[in-house]
Amino acid sequence: MTNLENLIGGQRRKATAGSRFEKHAPATGNLLAYVPASNTQDVDDAVRAAHTALHHGPWASAGGAARARWLQRLADLVEREADALAVLLADEQGRPAGEMQMMDVPMSVDTLRYFAGWADKLEGRMIPTDGFMGRPTLNYTRRMPVGVAAQIIPWNAPLMIAAWKLAPALAAGCTVVIKPSEDAPLSVARLGELICEAGFPDGVVNIIHGIGAEVGPALVTHPLVNKVSFTGSTEVGRSIACEAAKTFKRVTLELGGKAAQIVFADADIEQIIPSLAIGMFVNQGQTCAAGSRVLVHRSLAQAVEARLADAARSIRVGPPSDPASQMGALINQRHLARVRAHIDGALAEGAVRLAGDEAVPERGWFVRPTILGGVHPGMRIAREEVFGPVGMVIPFDSEDEAVGIANDTLFGLSASLWTQNISTAHRVAERLDVGAVAINCWSPLDARLPWGGTKHSGIGRDLSRAALDSYLEEKVVTAAL
Ligand code: NAD
């Protein structure tokens, strides 16, 4: 059991009021940590520390090459701690450590290294004009850090998403206040220790734990915060967009999804079933890109339904302490009740459970991977984000119908499609109103590829050059000669 602390101006600190809350392990219910319940005073201290580090001291005067070295050192340390971080993530998320070793930890390292590569390449432009009032001018641009960035992290991939947000901000020269989720504070706290070990100057990265509804608004409305980058629910994203607009803060919002996986009649179903299942069930379906809506050409629908149900039944559900576990627990009891309510609601609306009613471990917050048949596009289960291991098969007859169903949602994060026909693949990819389309695979995440959505899935992009640009302002300088 751990006592977590905030990281403010390089100092580890309890919450000012001395308040704290408990974080429990999803797979066992055991107490894992006491977490500071910070208040507006703590937030103010953290933002002021970030503001001071932005304008004074070694970070303010450091060049891009120095920032790159700090980021590379941090990447080395995360790599050194890979196994321990995977276990920590597994405990706080109730998820098999193997998934963290394969995905979350290496991707965090890769993201830090990718953005370290950008830190010394923030070049401006020289722009010729016709001059000013008869005089020639020299016009050039500088890429300036946006300032203090508030970064609000969800619980479903805490280390990886913290790296997605931190790395471009630091490469750009910003300073940061991170707010980890109350449901996954441990791995980000450990990242904070590694940030200190990497030698980042005090105040460059500050970590404020606390309850979202208290700490979040204090950060989002703070006058010294220049940008808010948020990953989380669409509902909270909407409130952040409204609050941030009042002081014209820049925002990046990575919100919910309701991805379709479209299987055309020429797809090789034996080959694709494992990928479809991964798309639905990885991280217990608690991913924004979860491909929960499997749209299948009617000629294959029955076969796909049966094979997906077999695949779901074969998944071994259990705690991360059991190395044989292939799927873990949901994050907390409230979320378990929410996912169950979604399944019950779908059954009440006429869906049929083809897999998912088998027994789960007695302790912990488990749901079996569930496949639903008899789902129509208008049903609630087909429209709202469940964020759990629940997939459904919806038949279609034509390409137009498939595209129509796929796009008929408020979300627009990602989609995948499965076909041997190269023309179908690219034609449909163009018609899907989402931020990312995967052809014959499921949403590969890569630091070099932009990640974000259209419609209610958010604003802006994480990862890639696009994320770097979102932490920079382009300043133009005109000199009359
Ligand atoms: P959440 O919105 O409940 O919480 C996210 C973060 O916001 C937490 O740190 C929380 O403490 C904080 N928060 C809560 N209320 C706040 C407020 N009023 N103001 C500011 N901050 C507040 O989301 P969650 O349950 O942690 O994560 C699940 C959601 O995240 C899903 O909807 C999922 O689709 C989405 N998500 C999106 C992406 C993406 O890249 N698009 C990636 C991962 C998760």
Give domain limits for the chain: 2-255+457-480, 260-447
State residue 144's pLDDT score.
98
Q: Give tens-digit pLDDT for 378-434.
A: 999 999 999 999 999 999 999 999 999 999 999 999 999 999 999 999 999 999 999
The percent of residues above 90 in pLDDT, for the chain, comes to 99
CA of 231 to the centre of ligand 1 (A): 5
Establish whether 254 is a catalytic residue. yes
- Residue 341 tokens, joined: 């309510």
Q: Indicate the residue type of 334.
A: R
DSSP, residue by residue, 307-372: HHHHHHHH--B--TTSTT-SB---S-HHHHHHHHHHHHHHHHTT-EEEE--S---SSS-----EEE
State residue 443's pLDDT score.
77
Q: Is the pLDDT of residue 39 over 80?
A: yes
Q: Is the pLDDT of residue 33 over 90?
A: yes
Contact residues for 414 (Cβ-Cβ < 8 A; gap 6+): 257, 259, 288, 289, 291, 434, 435, 436, 437, 438, 443, 453
Query: Which residues form the pocket of ligand 1, taking CB atoms under 6 Å from any ligand atom?
Result: 152-156, 179, 181-182, 212-213, 216-217, 220, 231-233, 236, 239-240, 254-257, 288, 385, 387, 413, 451, 453, 458
Q: Give tens-digit pLDDT for 277-302.
A: 999 999 999 999 999 999 999 999 99
Inter-residue contact 292 to 392 (CB < 8 Å): yes
- Residue 476 tokens, joined: 């133009």
State residue 38's pLDDT score.
98
State residue 232's pLDDT score.
98
Strands, E assignment, 81-168 = 137-145, 148-152
Type and span of the H or E element at 93 = helix 82-93
Inter-residue contact 73 to 81 (CB < 8 Å): no
Q: Whose C-alpha lies nearest to ligand 1, atom 8?
A: 181
Of the pLDDT bands very low, low, confident and very high (cuts 50, 70, 90), residue 1 is: confident
CA of 399 to the centre of ligand 1 (A): 34
Mean pLDDT of the chain: 97
Q: Which atom of ligand 1 is nearest to the CA of 234?
A: 32
Beta strand 472-480 with 137-145 is antiparallel
Q: Is the pLDDT of residue 340 over 80?
A: yes
Q: Active-site residue among 254, 270, 305, 362?
A: 254
The percent of residues above 70 in pLDDT, for the chain, comes to 100
Q: Give tens-digit pLDDT for 14-31.
A: 999 999 999 999 999 999
Q: Which atom of ligand 1 is nearest to the CA of 219?
A: 20
Q: Which atom of ligand 1 is nearest to the CA of 451?
A: 40
Q: Which atom of ligand 1 is nearest to the CA of 212?
A: 11
Mean predicted confidence (pLDDT) in 469-477: 98
Q: Whose C-alpha lies nearest to ligand 1, atom 39?
A: 254
State residue 442's pLDDT score.
85
The whole-angstrom separation of Cα 434 and Cα 453 is 6
CA of 263 to the centre of ligand 1 (A): 30
Q: Is the pLDDT of residue 57 over 90?
A: yes
CA of 230 to the centre of ligand 1 (A): 7
> Residue 444 burial by CB count (10 A; 0-12/13-18/19+): exposed, middle or buried?
exposed
Q: Whose C-alpha lies nearest to ligand 1, atom 26?
A: 154
Q: Which atom of ligand 1 is nearest to the CA of 216?
A: 20
Mutate which of 230, 255, 334, 385 for ligand 1 pocket (most atoms within 8 A of beta carbon): 255
Mutate which of 35, 229, 231 for ligand 1 pocket (most atoms within 8 A of beta carbon): 231
The whole-angstrom separation of Cα 73 and Cα 199 is 8
Mutate which of 236, 282, 338, 339 for ligand 1 pocket (most atoms within 8 A of beta carbon): 236
Q: Is the pLDDT of residue 366 over 80?
A: yes
Q: Which atom of ligand 1 is nearest to the CA of 211?
A: 11
Q: Whose C-alpha lies nearest to ligand 1, atom 21?
A: 216
Of the pLDDT bands very low, low, confident and very high (cuts 50, 70, 90), residue 257 is: very high
Of the pLDDT bands very low, low, confident and very high (cuts 50, 70, 90), residue 444 is: confident
Inter-residue contact 259 to 279 (CB < 8 Å): yes
Of the pLDDT bands very low, low, confident and very high (cuts 50, 70, 90), residue 332 is: very high
Mean predicted confidence (pLDDT) in 96-125: 97
Mutate which of 152, 177, 242, 411 for ligand 1 pocket (most atoms within 8 A of beta carbon): 152
CA of 452 to the centre of ligand 1 (A): 14
CA of 256 to the centre of ligand 1 (A): 9
CA of 194 to the centre of ligand 1 (A): 24
Q: Look up the CATH number of domain 260-447.
A: 3.40.309.10
Q: Is the pLDDT of residue 105 over 80?
A: yes
Whether CATH 3.40.640.10 fits 2-255+457-480: no
Q: Give tens-digit pLDDT for 176-229.
A: 999 999 999 999 999 999 999 999 999 999 999 999 999 999 999 999 999 999
Strands, E assignment, 153-237 = 175-179, 205-207, 227-231
Q: Which atom of ligand 1 is nearest to the CA of 210?
A: 11
CA of 265 to the centre of ligand 1 (A): 37
